[in-house]
Structure 1
Amino acid sequence: MTDQSPARTGGRAARRAARAAPLADHLRPIRAGMNGGTYKPLTEEGMQRIHTAALDALEQIGLADAPPTGVAYLTAAGAIQGDDGRIRFPRALVEETIARANRSLTLHGRDPAHDLELSGNRVHYGTAGAAVHLVDAEGRNYRECGVQDLHDAARIADQLENIHFLQRPMVCRDIPDNLEMDLNSIYACCSGTKKHVGASFTDPAYVKHGLELLHMIAGGEDKWRARPFVSNSNCFVVPPMKFATESCQVMEACIEGGMPVLLLSAGMAGATAPSTVAGAIVQATAECLAGLVYVNAVKPGAPAIFGTWPFGLDLRSGAMTGGSGEQALLTAGCAQMHKFYDLPGGAAAGIADSKLPDMQAGWEQMCSNVMAGLSGLNMVYEAAGMHASLLGFCHESLILGDDLIGQALRCVRGIEVTDDTLALEEIRQVCIGGPGHYLGTEQTLSRMEADHVYPALGNRMSPKEWAEMGKPDLIEKAKARKEMILAERASARLDPATDAAIRARFNIHLSA
């Protein structure tokens, strides 16, 4: 027995070392772009009826308040401006646009390893939002957020495997000038992560400055246009059924500048959208179809994400319910409509109404994230870090969300049924003359990393071991991980020459 101990110890140590090393991509149990689509809350008849209702809304009701440039683009494409000023969309125009629109697109990262392929049921999780507060999880307080907080969020997201992209989750409340805020938001995100970034502009005139900054980061306009690593999150409509005039002008400038556009329709069910789940999806679908016609009228084939983002509402109080079951259904139903049209799409999930990363936040974030993934949503926005119905963002919650999304992605992956996974021969060997258990069998050991997702911070200790380890607290562990990430220099930081040139051209508020 003594002679055998070193061999057992060495084998265990080798297995631990192997588990600690990064897995090859083809062996990882979860990854960006896994295929969902198994959850379908809408029937085929239901989707067809939503489509028909959306076409009726566009043809009979139309959208108001298009800017003069939008009126020119849309009427040239075949839309009709009525005497009431509303733009109406003939069925044939909408159906022709759907037929020729992009079926897939690539959202590039500054590092090609982070490119996201949007098509079919490929699922990607990331951040979004415009929170005005940072959540201090330890002190249980809210304070106004600033550019450093946004940069820190980008740096943290860059190190989290299950956060696949970073759309700006916070507003830089410490920069009162809107142009400087927009430019510093882009700089803070791009200097914090090499993953794809989503950004917005508050004024059409600011787009040219943003593009100039992005050309400098990319190393030239040609390099930017070849691999645009920032997309424009564009609220081109003010529900119900009105164009947002300035946002439409921003969208036109972004399209001309080679920037992918997220067509974002964010009605509130019961306030600015119908209170029923189906009705809210009809309106969001109609608005985004109008946006799709608009984009293709500006530039046929321009990359656009079908961003149906209807939100839930607590009709007792008028408060947003981003963490409700209704929200999860809204998002999953929208994802099905994206597949109905075979268009790259995105919607919101993972929002917590809870003010802190607590048990309520956990059930709210997991419910909609799992349903969004199972429904095959291409881009799951706001999937981590968002609290208080999008009013607060929490760095610790972003880190905990990485674990949560890992479990959601394992659900997305589903159950593979093959001769190997059916394990009949393994059952035979264990039960007939074998040890009577599967601990340590060749298949168990060989598949323990490829089949199973292990939480980085989640606690699976026994109560006895937990007590012996000092009763570790989940929030404290997330805080320690945050401090460890932020203690290191950002791997996505810009090279000194580029950074100096940017600082000479623009008023960058982050310290060098």
Structure 2
Amino acid sequence: MSRSRSGRAARHAERQGGAGSGASEAIWPGIEGGRYRPIPAHGIEAIHQTALRILAEVGLASATPRCIETVTTAGGSVSEAGRLMFPPELIERTLESAGRGFKLFGQRPEYDLDPSGTRIHLGTSGAAVHIVDSKTGQIRDSTLADLHDMARLAQALPNIHMFQRTVVARDIEDTHAMELNTAYACAAGTAKPIGTSFSSVATMQTAVEMFHMIAGGEQAWRERPFCCVSTCFVVPPLTFAEEALGIIECAAETGTPLKLVSAGQAGATSPAPLAGAVAQQTAEVLAGLAYVNLLNPGHPALFGALPFVSDLRTGAMSGGSAEQGVLMAACAQMAQYYGIPCAVSAGMTDSKMPDFQAGYEKGITELLSALAGANLIYEAAGMYGSLLAASKESFVLDNDMIGSVMRAARGFEINEDALAFDVIREVCLNGPGHFLGSGQTLGRMQSDYFYPELADRATPQAWADAGAPSTLEAARTRTEEILAGDASPVFGAETTAAIFLRFPEISARWG
């Protein structure tokens, strides 16, 4: 058994390219998906060609002077209507130089992620403005303390692989102070890869200076940047967000990884047919990739085509729909076509509470994304109300669900040991007629099976005899236990003191 476990550990390390350690022997960060392919083979090329036509014949509005100069110098043009046009050869050329093979770093190497191929990782994101109290049913504004709590939960829960900002600190009115404290709360709460966003270049530059202090200097940061900045650089359909172009430029200058996000809403800001929505979002992300690679060839940037779904009866976002899962799987396919690590969104239930609707909507969207081999699945823990609200105890519940999703995506191996002919023969001809005491059964308990922490698998009678315990109540208890632990910053007291001395906007909130 010892040799078997050692061999499995070695195989796991090989599969994940040396990144991270898993939550159990049955699952680990970087399990390969790719079995679900909603776009047929001929459709991939058709969407790609449509995206190229969009960029060459429609182009993007509201480009900044620097963006226009950069793109036109490389072969682009500006139409009579003032739209920036990207010819196919420019896109193809910049795709050749696009960043591939990069990792998302944690503050500690054991949390590094390898988002290559069809390796899957699940984590958080969103900008919820409310907190759901599942016990009372009340909704309140989210705070900086809530954000820090959620980062700490992500640190403690093994199946949450990265932490991007989940809620808006609505108790801080000044935007600069809010975004800087948001970055600090994420980095202080978890040593896993983090992410956030910025609305101004000045704030991002200040935050990167803080990241230098945490990393051990600018060079250390450039070698292992542990924060990926998410930028919605496009306002669909096909209009640049001018301030966000500055964020791309700042990232290129500071070595900061990017999640290039285009988040149209199918039927509203992108076409209602799913293929058209994917084509438009693909075109928009390709424009962002072209720009950042003209600024800094090979820059680490995630393919963040995120077409969301509208309920066409009401116009409301429907983040928990089956179509949402299909769209994210399709965008993963497009990213794989280009060989660029992708970021998708799943787990964005429309339910307001941890209930049956939340369970099936989270499960189906995350499973489809994982089976498609989406590299980084954001919004996978804690989110409710189509990203308008978040729940702390849901982090614990979703940690179990993510483990199950990863186990399903892993599939199983076919080899002599797994086919178990010798074991079957021994049990049937010479043994007790069952496999419960088999050495193989004992050896495979951990390697082949995932055991959720909170799921109740007792019989109905045993459950009733135990007082009919609630899984949600168990999640509340576990959440309280985690948050009652050490809340000191993961980067230590010395760095904390230096940050407080340098940044009064932070020390005023944390000092």
How far apart are 1:197 and its partner, in Å?
0.5
For 2:350, the aligned partner's letter is D
Counterparts of residues 161-172 of structure 1 (less than 5 Å):
161-172=158-169
Aligned to 1:365: 362
C-alpha separation in 2, matches of 1:415 and 1:118:
21
For 1:77, the aligned partner's letter is A
Aligned to 1:511: 510
How far apart are 1:55 and its partner, in Å?
0.6
For 2:112, the aligned partner's letter is D
- 1:40 corresponds to 2:37: yes
2:249 corresponds, among 249, 252, 255, to 252
Instruction: Sort the Cα spacing of 1:511 and 1:103 in 2 relative to 1 into closer, same or farther, 3 A.
Output: closer
Counterparts of residues 436-475 of structure 1 (less than 5 Å):
436-475=433-472
- 1:269 corresponds to 2:266: yes
Aligned to 2:80: 83
Contact 1:232 1:262 (8 Å CA) reproduced: yes
1:424 corresponds, among 411, 415, 421, to 421
Partner SS for 1:327: helix
- 1:316 corresponds to 2:313: yes
Contact 2:103 2:115 (8 Å CA) reproduced: yes
Counterparts of residues 372-451 of structure 1 (less than 5 Å):
372-451=369-448
How far apart are 1:492 and its partner, in Å?
4.7
How far apart are 1:210 and its partner, in Å?
1.0
C-alpha separation in 2, matches of 1:58 and 1:107:
29
Contact 2:267 2:310 (8 Å CA) reproduced: yes
Aligned to 1:208: 205
Aligned to 2:6: none
Counterparts of residues 276-295 of structure 1 (less than 5 Å):
276-295=273-292
Using structure 1 for the length normalisation, give the TM-score.
0.94
For 2:25, the aligned partner's letter is R
- 1:115 corresponds to 2:117: no
Aligned to 2:487: 490
How far apart are 1:219 and its partner, in Å?
2.0
Contact 2:100 2:300 (8 Å CA) reproduced: no
Aligned to 1:97: 94
Contact 1:407 1:453 (8 Å CA) reproduced: yes
1:199 corresponds, among 196, 221, 233, to 196
Aligned to 2:215: 218
Partner SS for 1:233: strand
Partner SS for 1:184: helix
RMSD (Å) for aligned C-alpha atoms: 1.4
Which range is displaced more, 490-499 or 457-466?
490-499
Contact 2:106 2:112 (8 Å CA) reproduced: yes
Counterparts of residues 333-344 of structure 1 (less than 5 Å):
333-344=330-341
Aligned to 1:71: 68
C-alpha separation in 2, matches of 1:491 and 1:127:
21
2:172 corresponds, among 170, 175, 192, to 175
How far apart are 1:102 and its partner, in Å?
2.1
C-alpha separation in 2, matches of 1:460 and 1:100:
51
For 1:454, the aligned partner's letter is Y
Aligned to 1:7: none
Contact 1:396 1:478 (8 Å CA) reproduced: yes
Aligned length: 490
How far apart are 1:464 and its partner, in Å?
1.9
Deviations 1:370-391, CA, capped at 9 Å, x for gaps: 1101100001010111100000
Aligned to 2:8: none
- 1:56 corresponds to 2:53: yes
How far apart are 1:100 and its partner, in Å?
2.1
How far apart are 1:114 and its partner, in Å?
0.6
How far apart are 1:276 and its partner, in Å?
1.1
C-alpha separation in 2, matches of 1:173 and 1:82:
42
C-alpha separation in 1, matches of 2:210 and 2:63:
29
Where does structure 2 lack aligned partners over 5 or more consecutive residues?
1-11, 14-20
Which range is displaced more, 103-112 or 260-269?
103-112
Deviations 1:255-294, CA, capped at 9 Å, x for gaps: 2111001000000000000011111100010000001101
Contact 2:100 2:298 (8 Å CA) reproduced: no
Aligned to 2:474: 477
C-alpha separation in 2, matches of 1:368 and 1:480:
27
Aligned to 1:13: none
C-alpha separation in 2, matches of 1:381 and 1:339:
17
Aligned to 1:132: 129
Aligned to 1:351: 348
Which range is displaced more, 462-471 or 437-446?
462-471
C-alpha separation in 1, matches of 2:249 and 2:96:
22
How far apart are 1:469 and its partner, in Å?
2.0
Aligned to 2:304: 307
Where does structure 1 lack aligned partners over 5 or more consecutive residues?
1-22
Partner SS for 1:483: helix
For 1:419, the aligned partner's letter is E
Contact 1:148 1:510 (8 Å CA) reproduced: no
How far apart are 1:74 and its partner, in Å?
1.4
C-alpha separation in 2, matches of 1:181 and 1:358:
32
For 2:175, the aligned partner's letter is N
C-alpha separation in 1, matches of 2:438 and 2:180:
56
How far apart are 1:491 and its partner, in Å?
6.6
